[in-house]
Amino acid sequence: MYDVIIIGGGVVGCCIARELSKIKMRIAVLEKNSDIGEGATKANSGIVHAGYDAAAGTLKALLNVRGNKMMKELADELDFPFINNGSLVLCFEENIASAENDHIANSGVSADRVVIKNDRSRLEELLDRGRQNGVAGLKILTGDAIRRLEPAVSQSVTSGLYAPTGGIVCPFGLTYAMAENAAVNGVEFYRQTKVVGIEKKKDIFYITCDRGVFEGRLVINVAGIYADLIHNMVSNEPMTIRPRRGEYVLYDKGVGGRVSHTVFQLPGAYGKGVLVTPTVHGNLLVGPTAEDIEDKEAVNTTAIGSATVMDKAAVSIGKIAVGEVITSFAGLRAHGGTGDFTIKEVDDVPGFLDVAGIDSPGLTAAPAIGEYVAQMVREILPAEDKKDFKPERRGIKSGWGEVICRCERITKEEIYEAIRRTPGATSIDGIKRRTRAGMGRCQGGFCSPRIIEILAQELGKEPWEITKAGAGSEILFYPD
Amino acid sequence: MKKDLVIIGGGPAGLAAAVEAYDQGVHDILILERDSELGGILNQCIHNGFGLHTFKEELTGPEYALRYVKMVKERKIPFMLRTMAVKLKGGEPIKITAMCGDERWNDRREEVLLEAENEPLAGLQKGAEGLEIEAKAVVLAMGCRERARGALNIPGYRPAGIFTAGSAQRFVNIEGLIPGREVVVLGSGDIGLIMARRMKLQGADVKMVVEIMPYSGGLKRNIVQCLEDFNIPLKLSHTIVDIDGKHRLKGVTIAQVDEAGKELPDTAEYIKCDTLLLSCGLIPENELSIDAGIEMDRLTHGPVVNDRMETGCRGIFSCGNVLHVHDLVDNVSKEAKAAGKSAAEYVLSGAGEWGKATRPKSPPKSRYTPTPERDFTNQLICIGCPVGCLLTVNKRSDGQLEVTGNSCPVGAEYGRKEMTAPTRPLTASVKVTDGIGAVVSVKTSADIPKNKIMECMAEIGRAKVSAPVVAGDILLKDIAGTGVHIIATANMLSNPAPENKMSQKV
Ligand SMILES: Cc1cc2nc3c(=O)[nH]c(=O)nc-3n(C[C@H](O)[C@H](O)[C@H](O)COP(=O)(O)OP(=O)(O)OC[C@H]3O[C@@H](n4cnc5c(N)ncnc54)[C@H](O)[C@@H]3O)c2cc1C
Ligand SMILES: Cc1cc2nc3c(=O)[nH]c(=O)nc-3n(C[C@H](O)[C@H](O)[C@H](O)COP(=O)(O)OP(=O)(O)OC[C@H]3O[C@@H](n4cnc5c(N)ncnc54)[C@H](O)[C@@H]3O)c2cc1C
Ligand code: SF4
């Protein structure tokens, strides 16, 4: 019997788990994938938003700003990559884009995909909203002042909003840090454990998974894009979560220094802009698109999506050579339709908490959501704090040993450690996200054979049982 | 540590440079190699076609590498394995920082090279600081890497089952593992062609080789031996426009492209497959060189060098695939010899006036466009050497076959044989028990009848030999009744502690 069962091992589920691990409780996290953090958590912009986007008074605004404030201290305590690089929202002259960027005119891309018309009043709106939300240090700068901060920014930028508290974080780093620390403090992680049914009898929830039944007093639904399915298993008030796809293009470290701040575009009449940002690991990321789709698993990229983000990014900072692209990817936002996060005890199911519709800025807000939900849990199920809570966790250290991944210079010892931690890596992707082995220029071309060998040895498996990301994604075939 | 000459990379380029520098009188040399053995990419290129120029015979990749390894060992030139140079700084002396793997492995690997005499340098303890080396001169011979999917920006899902041709080659030829059963190859350069055949020999259904250009970048002989021999279609002016499969690859969508390389959506066609091999170009690995501030050539992606192979940074030379991508290893060896000679001269007598750096001359790339008019009944492409002469074979009135179009006698002989009793050399790998590796590469002692290839492969597939194996050992006699033997082309040492591996598996 668990006191709390958390359904969903994304960044939000893991933050909640870590926060609850401070209390004397028995906690389980159930995750359907072979690893934590493989939902929206693995494919997003990695931005720690300052907090000027969400309307004042919303949970989004509250938790975004709070999460932003918590991030630095957490990054020190739990040792995950975070950089407070500051962000800029660019405001463009009217009708600049297609005329100025020759390549766009030549690329055959329809002009309305890249034209960005802005007016400055929207910038002031953001500034006001940010101030109401309690975002510190916001300033509107002139185009020249912006170019002094960020020389690559286009001449057609006339002004912009500067947010010194904006930052970037490694989304997996944050999630693994939270999960590992939660595990050290007693939280049990069950991966490859998919919830297929929930029943409440008396005051106990019986959670049926493909691997058996878990019993718990409280259930927290943090299933991301599937939060509606989980909710609808117990509640009579139906919920829908729609996937909204966002595509990205990631560039080589060689061009990672193109910008040092996160550079947004002010949304214009022709839709949302894209951002250009360095990542905490020194690559350059551009994206995302925003496309409503039906399929909750459709994380495929499209030719038009890649072209769109590349072209829009060029409007901000000029063109980047296509040869510098190292990969593209897509993530699905869990779009709830209310415009705000839904974090509450479900009316008709006491003891069942929804943490749903956590779209952007869910990554930023995650630690604050953790605190917020933990407070709700304390109120429903009072319990003592742990005296022996261990707040610290260290990341996997790079060393000087034998190099397995050449591009990122990841050693054998780091790979071993990624596997041996709890919850540790069990797949190629798990290794990749924990150590960056395979994330570099060659994208695993050289190191995947070695990593498969090490995984097989460590997990006591055969090489052909090793997967990219869980059952069904085996890399090799059984040799006959 | 101080050295006269440090060679970064122990592939054919690095080895040839080291040997030449030694022969020119520089003996204080150190080779750094990040892999666990010398030989570079050749160790996994188990097919033949190497060494026609250098050794005047047709060798497999591992055999070619072994010849140079032997020369290095005869000269007792020290090398460090599992040691990767990670930083390079020009000046006098030139400074190199390297990361060094577990020393125990160095010892163990040393036994692989059976005739080993020279100890690898007492390396560092694992996890110790980086190794700092000062050198009078350096030869960069880091080779190249393959272009990955991201760089091609193919849309779609990212399932398991997408490999670069080189990594699939490593799985099959070094690890003895099977990356796929229904295969599409993107890119028709030599590596793509060789891997199409390799997968076919391994029992896979190779659906097609897709090439975006209107011609193939591979050698004509490879088109014949790798595709035509196995009826694998070559789709020129086509590319892959979508990838299907959320977990494992399920299929790809191909489409034709116009002259400008633009996709023609109406031509889209779905091809079911579980594996996609990408063979879309090689990129010189110049992270170190760029980091050191060496001037690079935008076209070759290699350093700019003068006619003595010296880069813009004094005392730093470059050769092999890191300088520009070579089709033939023989050219690599030649170029590396020149670099080794210059490096030695530099160490012995200083720089002097060496002329301005220019772009290295790369030999023209091969471009093969199938001739539609080719009459398959009597016209053939000679596979005797990379030239690939178009032969015409006619029956004379006296019944003798007459071959025209050949540039040398090999072609005449080939033409006659091909029309009467075609034969092929065969290379593959055989499973090894109790070895430090799972398979050892092999070749046939002589050509076998073409129609016996799959039968021979079946027998090779069933075979198991026990380690140790030495290159040249006869592993299987009289394969498939052809009278031809199967000979090892590489060494394979026995695993000193096989139980280790087992106990870890509990
Ligand atoms: C394109 C894009 C860009 C974004 N950019 C940013 C940004 O820059 N900054 C920011 O702050 N936020 C950003 N976000 C938002 C942020 O990524 C998400 O809010 C956050 O990752 C949500 O985390 P989560 O844990 O709620 O969801 P998820 O990570 O999706 O986790 C839910 C988990 O539940 C599991 N699950 C589902 N069903 C079941 C079941 N039946 N049984 C067991 N487990 C189940 C899933 O497998 C999954 O692992 C972005 C999102 C997207 C898509
Ligand atoms: C997949 C493939 C198939 C080929 N097939 C053929 C063929 O059929 N016929 C033919 O004639 N040619 C073929 N070639 C070409 C030929 O093999 C190459 O031209 C030749 O191997 C290049 O030699 P190299 O020494 O420059 O590079 P490599 O053989 O790549 O050797 C470079 C070495 O440097 C090491 N290294 C790199 N960076 C560092 C570092 N920082 N520190 C320490 N060590 C480092 C690498 O581990 C590697 O061992 C093929 C090439 C490839 C990639
Ligand atoms: S005829 Fe001679 S030169 Fe021509 S391809 Fe054959 S072997 Fe080469």
A chain contacts of residue B130, beta-carbon cutoff 8 Å: 400
Would you say the CB of residue B326 lies under 6 angstroms from ligand 2? yes
CATH architecture assignment, domain A403-465:
Orthogonal Bundle (1.10)
pLDDT at res. A104: 43
Reply yes or no on whether the pLDDT at A116 is more than 90: no
**Atom 5 (ligand 3) nearest CA:** B388
Q: Is A446 on the interface with B (CB under 8 A)?
A: yes
Band (A106; pLDDT cuts 50, 70, 90): very low
Band (A407; pLDDT cuts 50, 70, 90): confident
Distance from CA of B168 to the nearest CA of A (A): 9
Q: Is B164 helix (H, G, I), strand (E, B) or coil?
A: strand
Q: What angle do CA B359, B360, B365 make, to 5 degrees?
A: 115
pLDDT at res. B357: 57
- pLDDT, greater one: B399 or B107: B399
Residue to mutate, B45, B46, B173, B427, ligand 2, most ligand atoms under 8 Å from C-beta? B45
Closest to B322 in 3D by CA, of B312, B313, B335 = B335
Lowest mean pLDDT among A33-47, B95-109, B212-226, B285-299: B95-109
CA B287 / ligand 2 centre spacing (Å): 16
CA B386 / ligand 3 centre spacing (Å): 7
Q: What angle do CA B343, B344, B345 make, to 5 degrees?
A: 90
- Mean pLDDT over A96-105 rounds to 43
Q: Is A326 on the interface with B (CB under 8 A)?
A: yes
Band (A268; pLDDT cuts 50, 70, 90): low
pLDDT at res. A271: 58
| CA–CA gap between residue A277 and residue A286 (Å, rounded) | 7
- pLDDT, greater one: B387 or A222: A222
Among the atoms of ligand 3, which is closest to the Cα of residue B408? Answer: 2
Distance from CA of B151 to the nearest CA of A (A): 5
**Shared fold status for B149-280 and B427-500:** no
Lowest mean pLDDT among A106-120, A159-173, B288-302: A106-120
Band (A101; pLDDT cuts 50, 70, 90): very low
- Mean pLDDT over A412-441 rounds to 92
Would you say the CB of residue B329 lies under 6 angstroms from ligand 2? yes
Supply the pTM of this predicted model: 0.91
- Mean pLDDT over A35-63 rounds to 95
ipTM above 0.85, yes or no: yes
**Can you name the CATH fold of A87-164+243-335?**
D-Amino Acid Oxidase; Chain A, domain 2 (3.30.9)
Query: Cβ A473–B247 below 8 Å, yes or no?
Result: yes
Residue B396 DSSP label: -
Q: Is A443 on the interface with B (CB under 8 A)?
A: yes
Instruction: Please check whether residue B45 is in contact with residue B169, taking contact to mean a CB–CB distance below 8 angstroms.
Output: yes
Q: Is A23 helix (H, G, I), strand (E, B) or coil?
A: strand
Residue type, B87: K
**Atom 20 (ligand 2) nearest CA:** B329
Band (B134; pLDDT cuts 50, 70, 90): very high
Residue A301 DSSP label: B
- Mean pLDDT over A342-348 rounds to 96
pLDDT at res. A402: 82
Would you say the CB of residue A305 lies under 6 angstroms from ligand 1? no
Would you say the CB of residue A226 lies under 6 angstroms from ligand 1? yes
A chain contacts of residue B84, beta-carbon cutoff 8 Å: 403, 406, 409
Distance from CA of B147 to the nearest CA of A (A): 7
Q: Is A415 on the interface with B (CB under 8 A)?
A: no
| CA–CA gap between residue B156 and residue A300 (Å, rounded) | 5
Reply yes or no on whether the pLDDT at B103 is more than 80: no
**Can you name the CATH fold of B2-145+283-349?**
FAD/NAD(P)-binding domain (3.50.50)
Reply yes or no on whether the pLDDT at B361 is more than 70: no
Would you say the CB of residue B4 lies under 6 angstroms from ligand 2? no
Interface test with B, best of A473, A474, A480 (most B CBs within 10 A): A473
- Mean pLDDT over A27-55 rounds to 96
Mean per-residue pLDDT of chain A: 91
CATH architecture assignment, domain B427-500:
Roll (3.10)
- pLDDT, greater one: A323 or A91: A91
- What percentage of chain B has pLDDT greater than the value 70? 89
| Helix and strand counts by DSSP (H, E) for chain B | 12, 29
pLDDT at res. A3: 97
Q: What angle do CA A53, A163, A41 make, to 5 degrees?
A: 55
- Mean pLDDT over B360-369 rounds to 67
CA A333 / ligand 1 centre spacing (Å): 7
Lowest mean pLDDT among A108-112, B377-381, B424-428: A108-112
Beta-strand pair A242-251/A325-335: antiparallel
Give pLDDT tens digits for B253-281.
999 999 988 889 899 999 999 999 999 88
Band (A60; pLDDT cuts 50, 70, 90): very high
Lowest mean pLDDT among A146-150, B67-71, B221-225, B347-351: B347-351
pLDDT at res. A117: 59
Q: Is A464 on the interface with B (CB under 8 A)?
A: yes
Distance from CA of A179 to the nearest CA of B (A): 25
Residue of A nearest to B164 (CA): A445
Reply yes or no on whether the pLDDT at B186 is more than 90: yes
Reply yes or no on whether the pLDDT at B127 is more than 80: no
Give pLDDT tens digits for B314-338.
999 999 999 999 988 999 999 999 9
- Cα torsion at A264, A265, A267, A268 (round to 10°)? 180
Cis bond upstream, residue B62 (ω within 30):
no
Give pLDDT tens digits for A80-89.
999 999 999 9
Instruction: Please check whether residue B80 is in contact with residue B463, taking contact to mean a CB–CB distance below 8 angstroms.
Output: no
pLDDT at res. A322: 85
Distance from CA of B159 to the nearest CA of A (A): 7
Reply yes or no on whether the pLDDT at A55 is more than 60: yes
- Mean pLDDT over B38-61 rounds to 94
- Mean pLDDT over A169-189 rounds to 98
- pLDDT, greater one: A166 or A120: A166
pLDDT at res. A72: 97
- CATH superfamily for B149-280 is FAD/NAD(P)-binding domain (3.50.50.60)
Nearest ligand (C-alpha, residue A38): 1
Q: Which of A299, A306, A479 sits opposite B153 (nearest CB)?
A: A306
Give the DSSP letter string of B90-155: -SSSEEEEEEE--HHHHHHHHHHSTT--SPPP--PPTT-PPEEEEEEEEEE---EEE--HHHHT--
- Mean pLDDT over A463-468 rounds to 96
Give pLDDT tens digits for A449-464.
999 999 999 999 999 9
Nearest ligand (C-alpha, residue B138): 2
Reply yes or no on whether the pLDDT at B388 is more than 60: yes
A478 CB contacts (<8 Å, ≥6 apart)? Answer: A464, B178
Mean per-residue pLDDT of chain B: 88
Query: Cβ B158–A329 below 8 Å, yes or no?
Result: yes
- Mean pLDDT over B368-392 rounds to 85
Catalytic site includes residue A231: no
pLDDT at res. B363: 61
- What percentage of chain A has pLDDT greater than the value 90? 81
Give the DSSP letter string of A60-115: HHHHHHHHHHHHHHHHHHHT--EE---EEEEEEPTT-HHHH-HHHHHTT--GGGT-
A chain contacts of residue B155, beta-carbon cutoff 8 Å: 300-303, 305-306, 328
* Token duo for residue B379: 């016209």
Reply yes or no on whether the pLDDT at B99 is more than 70: yes
- What percentage of chain A has pLDDT greater than the value 70? 94
pLDDT at res. A447: 87
Reply yes or no on whether the pLDDT at A472 is more than 90: yes
Q: For residue A200, list its beta bridge partners.
A: A205
- Domain residue ranges of chain A, discontinuous segments joined by +: 2-46+171-241+338-380, 87-164+243-335, 403-465
- How far is CA A393 from each of CA A22, A67, A185, A227, A390, rounded to the nearest angstrom? 14, 19, 11, 29, 8
- CATH superfamily for A2-46+171-241+338-380 is FAD/NAD(P)-binding domain (3.50.50.60)
- Domain residue ranges of chain B, discontinuous segments joined by +: 2-145+283-349, 149-280, 379-420, 427-500
Closest to A38 in 3D by CA, of A478, A448, A430 = A430
Q: Which of A325, A445, A471 sits opposite B166 (nearest CB)?
A: A445
